[in-house]
A and B are shown apart, each in its own frame.
Chain A
Amino acid sequence: MAVGVTPSHAALAGAVPSRRIEWTWAPIALAVAVVAWLALVPLAFMLWQSVLSPQTATSAARFTLDNYRTAYASHDTARLFLTSLEFALGSAALAFSCGALLAWINERTDTPFKTLFFALALVPLIIPGILFTVSWIFLGSPKIGLINLALQHAFDTDTVFINVYSIPGMIWVDGLHYSPVAFLLMTAAFRSMDPALEESAMMSGATLPQIMWRITIRLASPATAAALLILFVRALESFEVPALLGLPVGIEVYTSAIYDAIHSYPSEIGLASAYGVALLIITSLCVFITTRISSLSGRYSTVTGKGFRPRVMTIGRWRYVTAVVFLIYVLLVVVLPFLVLLWSSLQRFYSVPSLAALKNLTFEPYRRVLAYPEIGTAIWNSVLLSLASATLIMIATSILCWIVVRTKLPGRWFVDHLASLPLVFPGLVLGLSIMVCYLTLPIGVYGTIWIMLIAYVTRFLPYGMRYNTASLLQVHKELEESAAMSGASLRTTFGRIVLPLLKPGLIAGWIYIVIVSIRELASSILLYSPGTEVVSVMIWELWQNGQYVELSALGVMMILVLFCFVMLAQLVGRRFGVADA
């Protein structure tokens, strides 16, 4: 840090003595080196691995293009591509429709209890994907699914009403789980829109549907496109749903194909890497388009004049309809999944809710799961990893962002791009590349908890960049400069002015990274080894072993702890003046 600070001060002042020029490169070079090591080296290893044949006891790996032939030119190629596309498109569309509708209701109408709904609608963000998927298996599997059983009982038939083991089922579960992301993105979009634009349409005589169609949707279209792309990329990366719902019935998408290839015997890491390359190309393309759209949409926001207060429309009786929409949504994404987990966690063996089963309620699964020898290690690892990666990332990115946003050091944009690069890595692909990388490099990281820390830090680095850039851009440069003018040294300025002003963003980003780290499964599943399991991996193993009630018990505890953590963080945050992130 000291290296980074002194020379950049000189650069800031605009008077760089020539003998110190080489010094100004030091912080940039250091930052580039670290970030490049994290982001680029594993990628290179994966590319290299993708042109090697499987290594077995009898034959060494050799150069081959077979992997690419299998991945791109077999009769499965098209099917895999189309299935992935169908799943990702469907999931993105579903998530977006739910999220956008809710965001509009929440931002623009006078629906009762919407603050409460707003909070509840975000709960799925803290539920790990694997738990959400499992709970929907309990709800929507053709044989034991509660929804099916209830409806069959009600209508006295054998019809299977919903089947999560199908592409529509996968879309349903994945789309629902990620709808809060769309909700947040579209809320931001609606908030940045001058309500007078809609009101003037109203004054022009337009009806509510006309306003929605001809004004609101059009104005939100850049944000919509960006949100859809983000959701699409996210769905392509999705691992839990395809693995748990698709693989058992032979529906494969890229992520599950990668997982399958690695876990076949002999392990086909080359093939997995070739799939990974395909996935990476698609996601990079989408992320690139997204950034283009975002920079284009700046045009739309320049028209609005002064600051405006968001206003809500009085929608009369319709607000009961919108309230019911909210209620159903919360039921589907929070209440039902949690209740079904809770129910099964209180049974000795998994059984469908009934009066008879009600008598057998027991805490046995909790006792059993807490008695597992690995549980302590897993929890310890999860806590350690999430706290460490969140802290490391927020500290590192606050310095990186400060270099990028505030100094005039040459090459600073490169740091920004590099640090955002992991955005295009699907978790599974990142796990794969890091695995290949440290399997090959003999520096004693493989098989330890360090490799997972590296994976987490790499994967979530872009989030830290985003939180810090956002808050740094809000802190006006003149605040720093006036501190400098009042005679404060650079260190004092950073410590007394910049850091306190960044604190809200820092804390919000830290909380966010802690949560996503604890939920992380896609990378961990490829990198853990005995002794370095994390909680999400344990849940995965419990599922594989058919220990459903123990899984539910662990899941319920995990959700409750995460929920309390978020509440506590909010409380602490509010005390320190942190606005909602």
Chain B
Amino acid sequence: MLSVKSLNTEYAAANGQVVKAAQDVSFEVPDGELFTLLGPSGCGKTTTLRSIAGLERPKSGAIEVSGQVVYSSEQRVFVAPNRRNFGMVFQSYAIWPHMNVFKNVAFPLEVRKARPSRKEIEQRVMRVLAAVQLAELADRDATKLSGGQQQRLALARALVMEPRLLLLDEPLSNLDAKLREAMRFELKRMQRDFGLTTVYVTHDQSEALALSHEIGVMNDGRIVQIGSPRDIYERPRNKFVADFVGSTNFIDGTVISAAAGNGRCRVATPVGELTVQCVDNLAKGSPIVVSVRPEDVELSEAELARGDDDNVCRGIVEAKVFLGDYLDFQVKVGESVLLARVHPSLRTPTGDPINVRMRAEKCVAIAEVAAPRAAA
């Protein structure tokens, strides 16, 4: 199990200033699970990952892997990266151009203190190469591989050392879109088969949602929410998460009746009064934002059935965009415009009125002033 406690890492920038690249980062990854650090470029994901690897020396904090402290500012412990036995895949893959595929993978075994026999090295390398489907290319020059093959080679090199922890820095970002989707499943399968505790870094939310057991969303060097993919997507705790993970509609509002036992409260908004899901305890009168995903804004020309907690209203179709698998509608309700993602079979012409339904459990209330975070 990996546990990271209040990690802080700083850089001295060129102009003498200090860049606080990772601040108070804490999370835990249970054995065999995949944890993703998700956030926009420059938010400190790589820094956090490199701090775990030991390639950056943090300012303070503690890192523990299956009971062993590899870094602790209090106990003054810093285990050198080459003694940690963590596998890492770099964003640039960092494949050694002067070695062939086999040699690249054999390297971690060859530099061991207790170096296995030649035969054993060969067996282990070939086994890993087979697992990443590169066995036939073992003798090929590492420079003569395609992007996807390079990515798998980098992974093989990390796997061959049977690491305690696997660190992946945007491993799919250098691949083209089609390949990326295929590799996503590959990665998931291998991580599961090898049962590796993994920290995965990406800026791509769909990658994170597809792969992870748990996601930590980062912004400006801090983790702003930790949760399962479903949690993160359906119950964002603040505007940043709601906006960064998928697209969403924000509707400003004020609480008019505080949360009942079922976690629902009533909110006054420009769209009308809504019943919404509250995560935090919100007092009456506090300003909030309601986040509704476009696919949760249901549209119909016919009258929509209305459950207890459903919010129903009428709007005018303002514009629509055909996107293949689905249609995006812009619907004007009162003075606000809502984005709805619907099945292409809906053919209401622009300018026509339409019925809108948003289920209460899909409308998430987010406190306007960020409530004190309770990140892990």
Which A residues fall within an 8 A CB radius of B? Answer: 194, 196-197, 199-207, 210, 214-215, 218-219, 221, 299-300, 302-306, 308, 311, 314
Contact = CB atoms under 8 A, between A and B. Distances in A.
Which of A203, A210, A214, A311 counts the most B-chain CB atoms under 10 A from its CB?
Answer: A203
B41 to A, nearest CB: 11
Interface string B145-174: 000001000100110010000000000001
Contacts, number: 86
Interface string B80-109: 011111111011111111100000000110
B92 A207 contact: no
Nearest to A309: B11
A200 B83 contact: no
Contacts of A314: 57
A311 B50 CA distance: 12
21 contacts: A196-B94, A197-B94, A200-B90, A200-B154, A201-B107, A202-B55, A203-B53, A203-B84, A204-B111, A205-B108, A207-B111, A214-B107, A219-B98, A302-B143, A303-B93, A305-B92, A305-B174, A306-B92, A306-B174, A311-B55, A314-B57
B44 to A, nearest CB: 14
Nearest to A304: B92
Nearest to A302: B143
B142 interface: yes
B230 interface: no
B234 to A, nearest CB: 33
A306 B143 contact: no
B94 A194 contact: yes
Contact of A219 (B86, B96, B108, B143): B96
Contact of A303 (B85, B87, B95): B95
B85 A300 contact: no
B112 interface: yes
Contacts of B107: 201, 204, 206, 214
B143 A202 contact: no
A199 B98 contact: no
Given A219-B96, A303-B97, A308-B92, A205 B82 contact: yes
Nearest to A306: B92
Contact of A306 (B55, B81, B91): B91
A314 to B, nearest CB: 6
A299 B94 contact: no
Contacts of A207: 82, 111
A196 B171 CA distance: 14
Contacts of B88: 199-200, 203
Nearest to A219: B98
The interface size bin for chain B is 20 to 34
A203 B86 contact: yes
Nearest to A305: B92
A443 B319 CA distance: 84
Interface of B: 53, 55, 57, 81-88, 90-98, 107-108, 111-112, 142-143, 150, 154, 157-158, 161, 174
A200 B157 contact: yes
A302 B147 CA distance: 12
A305 B92 CA distance: 5
Given A200-B94, A305-B174, 8 more contacts: A197-B96, A200-B90, A207-B82, A210-B111, A215-B96, A219-B97, A300-B97, A305-B91
Nearest to B103: A214
A553 to B, nearest CB: 41
A573 to B, nearest CB: 18
B161 A205 contact: yes
Contacts of B92: 194, 196, 304-306, 308
Contacts of A199: 55, 81, 88, 90, 94
B68 to A, nearest CB: 16
Contact of B90 (A196, A206, A219, A300): A196
Nearest to B141: A299
A214 B96 CA distance: 10
A188 B349 CA distance: 63
A202 to B, nearest CB: 5
B111 A214 contact: yes
Contacts of A299: 97, 143
A197 B87 CA distance: 14
A215 B95 CA distance: 11
Nearest to A196: B94
Nearest to B92: A305
B194 to A, nearest CB: 17
Nearest to A207: B82
Contacts of B93: 303, 305
Contacts of B174: 305-306
Contacts of A210: 111
A197 B97 CA distance: 9
B324 to A, nearest CB: 30
B346 to A, nearest CB: 42
A304 B96 CA distance: 9
A293 to B, nearest CB: 14
Closest 8 CB pairs of A and B: A305-B92, A204-B108, A196-B94, A200-B94, A206-B111, A196-B90, A203-B88, A303-B97
Contacts of B82: 202-207
Nearest to A300: B97
Contacts of B150: 303
A579 B149 CA distance: 38
B57 to A, nearest CB: 6
Contacts of B142: 303
A246 to B, nearest CB: 40
A314 B50 CA distance: 14
B301 to A, nearest CB: 49
A200 to B, nearest CB: 4
A300 B95 CA distance: 11
A15 B261 CA distance: 80
A310 to B, nearest CB: 12
A540 to B, nearest CB: 44
Which of B90, B108, B161 counts the most A-chain CB atoms under 10 A from its CB?
Answer: B90
A302 B142 CA distance: 11
Nearest to A199: B55
B108 to A, nearest CB: 4
A302 B53 CA distance: 26
Contacts of A194: 92, 94
A305 B84 CA distance: 26
Contact of B111 (A205, A221, A306, A311): A205
A127 B142 CA distance: 45
Contacts of A303: 93, 95, 97, 142-143, 150
Nearest to A311: B55
A305 to B, nearest CB: 3
Contact of A205 (B83, B95, B96, B98): B83
Contacts of A201: 96, 107, 111
A238 to B, nearest CB: 33
Given A202-B55, A205-B108, A300 B94 contact: no
A199 B50 CA distance: 10
A304 B93 CA distance: 8
A314 B108 CA distance: 22
A302 B95 CA distance: 11
Contacts of B108: 204-206
Nearest to B89: A200
Contact of B81 (A202, A304, A305, A311): A202
Contact of A203 (B81, B91, B98, B143): B81
